[in-house]
Amino acid sequence: MVITSFADKSGNFNRQVSSFRDVIEPGGKFAPEKGRYHLYVSLACPWAHRTLIVRKLKGLEDYFDVSVVHPHMLEKGWQFVPKDLADAKPAPASEHNNETFPNATVDHLYGSSHIRDLYFKAEPEYSARFTVPIIWDKREKTIVSNESSEIIRFLNTAFNAALPKDKADIDIYPEELKKEIDELNEWVYNDINNGVYKSGFATTQEAYEKAVKPLASSLDRVEKILSDGREFLIGGKLTEADIRLFTTIIRYDPVYYVHFKCNFGSIRHDYPYLHKWLQKLYWNSPAFKDTTDFDHIKEHYYYSHININPNRIVPFGPNVDIEPLN
């Protein structure tokens, strides 16, 4: 799959708007029921990673089982481990095998070969990109949502009535902080979350510079926010703003710095406050650490984007994927 074909005539990468935008909510078409829904993800994808963090943070593992695509995105997009290899021992990551990979799975519901099969199952005339994450309704046999920003919000509240108090009380989008979170999310999304992609998939020098300069200035802006030593971005507590930024920053040094040409500074060497914020989230919270898979992250980007890395060489470095918290 040649991702740069999604760039416009001026070389600017344009992200697709998600097309399935329903919500899980009490009393709605998609009610919060145990065992009804399935989550499809890539462990490489920062957008899907958001949903895995919130799933674990809120204790929703029993409410959403998960299928994980193979990190190689080839001609037909995201693919699953072939169903006849469901019980096979996966090839080690170092072999860059196209069929099996540690922590990749079959499609546990239908044995599909690709994510695209699910889109066509939900909408036979579907003609856009085949993205993850997907929340799938087993009863209606359709996609509830493929928009990560909305998925993490309904995961935050929809199941609270059935959760233990300690999990129900976790609120990553509290009423009193919504305005501040929304304002921060807007520029973080445009300049950082999507900014790394706009930089990496640019096909002209002008488009690259148009993306990478706001990325650099916005990382400086985050660094300044964190320079007072705060542990979280907003309100002295963990919010969705931290989750949305984390999934980009954890991929920055291993991938974006080199692969997407975002090499004006590394997180670990040039952004000390942002680096400390990242380390604390990763090392102190299983919801962040246990959902991060550096093998999938590096393998996907370096192997799949042949327009950027035609020889599919996956680098050994950085020396450690994330430095220990001292």
Cβ neighbours of residue 40 under 8 Å, at least 6 residues apart?
A: 66, 67, 69, 107, 115, 118, 132, 133, 134, 136
Residue 19 annotated in ligand binding: no
Q: Which of 37, 63, 197, 252 is catalytic?
A: 197
Closest CA to 238 of 57, 6, 70, 33: 57
- Which residue stretches of 170-293 are H helix? 178-188, 195-200, 205-226, 240-249, 257-259, 267-270, 272-284, 286-289
Distance CA 255, CA 259 (A): 5
Distance CA 261, CA 42 (A): 23
How many degrees, rounded to 5, is the angle at CA 115 between CA 154 and CA 55? 30
Torsion of CA 59, 61, 62, 67, to 10 degrees: 160
Indicate the burial class of 320 (C-beta count within 10 angstroms; 0-12, 13-18, 19 or more): exposed
How many C-beta neighbours within 10 Å does residue 160 have? 16
Phi, psi torsion values for 178, nearest 5 degrees: -60, -45
Residue 129 annotated in ligand binding: yes
What end-to-end distance do the CA atoms of the chain give, in Å? 41
Residue 277 annotated in ligand binding: no
Distance CA 294, CA 96 (A): 14
Q: Which of 37, 45, 208, 271 is catalytic?
A: 45
Biggest CA–CA distance in the chain, Å, is 54
Element (H, E) at 92: none
Residue 130 annotated in ligand binding: yes
Residue 68 annotated in ligand binding: no
45 among known catalytic residues: yes
Residue 221 annotated in ligand binding: no
Binding site members for glutathione: 78, 129-132, 147-148
Active site residues: 45, 197
